[in-house]
Amino acid sequence: MEQLLHYVWKHRLFQPNLKTTDGIPIEILDVGLHNTDEGPDFFNAKVKVGERVWIGNIEIHRSSDEWFKHRHDQNKIYNSVILHVVEFATKEVYNEAKLAIPQCEIQYPKHIKDNIEFLLNSDVALPCCNYLKEFPAIHLQGWLNALLMERLERKSNDIQKLLGTFNNSWADVFYVLLSRSMGFGLNSDAFQRLALSLPLHYILKQGDNPLQIEALLLGQAGMLDELIISDEYTQRLQQEYNFLKNKYSLTPLDKEIFRKLRVRPTSAPHIRLAQLAGLLLNIQGLFSKVLECKDLGQIRLLLHINASEYWQTHYQLGEESPRKNKYIGDASLDVMIINAVVPIVFAYGRRINDESYVDRALNFLDLIKPESNSIVKQFALYGVRSRSAYDTQALIQLKREYCEKRKCLYCRIGYRLLSEK
């Protein structure tokens, strides 16, 4: 497995006393920089072959045959290779300039191969689960810190792409993120599609008219189509949406993209859209207000919105229910802050090169209670406890980007486990 050979080379886990296939001693002074793009596997390595020191690139394969299989002998990029590292040397290799390239067979301890085969082929969701309790706390926290930054950098890059779509309008991007966060996982993609199909400037044109904003959201979500209800409010929503749909040439989404099964009434798409409508009544200048907030409580106050009067006695259109406030709850507010506020404040800080916003985003996460989901509970079973959303976001990154993709070779936990006998 070539990936394992890269790992062994990068971390110097190979057996010492390397020699070329001609029997010349090799001393590895610098393994080089791992390259994940096109070209040789490691750049700028320093290798002493016999009495001569070479500086250049390293190419790694399981066998010599792969050099020719990948046509490196016909590619000038590989003329810079000073050493071909293989597990099995089967033939001589040469570059495009027809010059022979020194080769060496790499050897590594058997337990490394056994450990990686267990990690990569195990049917267990967390193959390293029995090792987690033994993993030093200081090293675990360091890895969680790195994972969180990795997750936020990825989200920041996504935001930069959205900014390109919206001509660098932070308000438009925040509208999309806020809408997506109202989907609370189950309907996040659907709510984002809704926001992308309904530009913010159409919302802003309705000013402070809650009926029209609700009509736009519910209608664009396909929830007013072919709805036969004598309810006066529902009829007004339909009338408003039909007018606005024609005015703005809108095409409603298929309502079936909004999932309703196993969703509590207070989290049903209708209620979430009504709450989103309440937020959008105050969307003008909301992003600027969020940037001004240095206190998490201030953020919560900005987002703590109740649905309009109609929804105090309804969970569905046309179906009356006992009166109950439809405020966005504390747990839901935390999810919105984690998924909308924190990423955009972080991305804004990166964009304008102001670390105070980055620090503020991280501090918000540190002040929010740990999330409660299947990933967090799974790690808790094996002794990994979370202090705050700072840790839970890191664990989500670990599970989705490393455990599920079996990227154990790139995980610090996997590295320590692989290195142990």
pLDDT in tens, 194-204: 999 999 999 99
**Does one domain contain both 104 and 119?**
no
**Which of the two residues, 415 and 382, has the higher pLDDT score?**
382
User: Do residues 194 and 284 both lie within one domain?
Assistant: yes
Do 119 and 196 sit in the same domain of this protein?
A: no
pLDDT band for 230, please (50, 70, 90 cuts): confident
Q: 86 with 94: CB under 8 angstroms?
A: no
pLDDT of residue 228 exceeding 80: no
On whether both 250 and 153 belong to a single domain, the answer is no
pTM of this prediction? 0.82
Q: How confident is the model at residue 420 (pLDDT cuts 50, 70, 90)?
A: low
Residues 75 and 98 in one domain: yes
Domain count, the chain: 3
In a shared domain, residues 205 and 262? yes
pLDDT in tens, 138-161: 999 999 999 999 999 999 999 999
Q: How many CB atoms lie within 10 A of CB 32?
A: 22
Q: Give the residue from 44, 55, 42 showing the smallest Cα distance to 85.
A: 42
Question: Which residues pair with residue 57 across a beta bridge?
Answer: 81
Distance of CA 129 to the CA centre of its chain: 22
Do 208 and 323 share a domain, yes or no? Answer: yes
One DSSP character per residue, 91-110 reads S--B-TT--B--EEE----H
Backbone angles phi, psi at 96, to 5 degrees: -65, -25
Q: At 271, phi and psi to the nearest 5?
A: -70, -45
The Cα 48–Cα 144 span in angstroms is: 38
Question: Is 115 a residue whose pLDDT tops 80?
Answer: no
Q: What is the pLDDT of residue 421?
A: 58
pLDDT category at 134 given cuts 50, 70, 90 is confident
186 and 269 fall within a common domain = yes
Calculate the alpha carbon distances from 251 to 240, 244, 269, 416 in Å: 15, 11, 19, 54
Which range of residues forms the domain containing residue 343? 110-165+337-421
Residue identified by tokens 């664009």 is 220
Residues 322 and 179 in one domain: yes
- Supply 5's token pair: 């050979």
Residues 246 and 316 in one domain: yes
User: Is pLDDT of 124 > 80?
Assistant: no
One-letter amino acid for residue 203 of the chain = I
Counting runs of H as helices and runs of E as strands, what totals does the chain give?
Answer: 19, 9
What 3 state SS string does 152-217 have?
HHHHHHHHHHHHHHCCCCHHHHHHHHHHHHCCCCCCHHHHHHHHHHCCHHHHHHCCCCHHHHHHHH
**Given 310, 328, 346, which residue is the final one in a domain?**
328
End of a domain among 108, 127, 152?
Answer: 108
- Among 63, 83, 108, residue at a domain's last position: 108
Determine how many CB atoms are found less than 10 A away from the CB of residue 278.
22
C-alpha 98: how far from chain center:
45
The answer to which of 142-146, 190-194, 412-416 has the lowest mean pLDDT is: 412-416
Burial of 98 from C-beta contacts in 10 A (0-12 / 13-18 / 19+):
exposed
Q: Which residues contact 397 (CB under 8 A, 6 or more apart)?
A: 147, 148, 150, 151
Whole-number Å distance between alpha carbons of 199 and 214 = 14
What is the DSSP secondary structure assignment for residue 95, as one 8-state letter? -
The DSSP call for residue 306 is: B
Query: What is the pLDDT averaged over residues 370-386?
Result: 93
Q: For residue 42, what is the enclosing H or E element? A: strand 42-49
24 and 98 co-located in one domain: yes
Q: 49 and 26: one domain?
A: yes
Cβ(290)–Cβ(299) below 8 Å: yes
Per-residue CA distances from 206 to 186, 201, 283 (Å): 29, 9, 11
Structure tokens at 154: 């990825």
Q: Work out the burial of residue 138: count CB atoms within 10 Å of its CB; fewer than 13 is exposed, 13-18 middle, 19 or more buried.
A: exposed
In angstroms, rounded to a whole number, what is the distance separating the alpha carbons of residues 417 and 112? 9
Confidence of residue 99 (pLDDT cuts 50, 70, 90): very high
Q: Are β-strands 42-49 and 33-34 bridged in parallel, bridged antiparallel, or unpaired?
A: antiparallel
CB 398 within 8 A of CB 88: no
Quick: pLDDT tens for 1-49. Answer: 788 899 889 888 888 889 999 999 999 999 999 998 889 999 999 999 9
Tokens (6 digits) for 169: 């309008």
Both tokens assigned to 346 = 């972080």
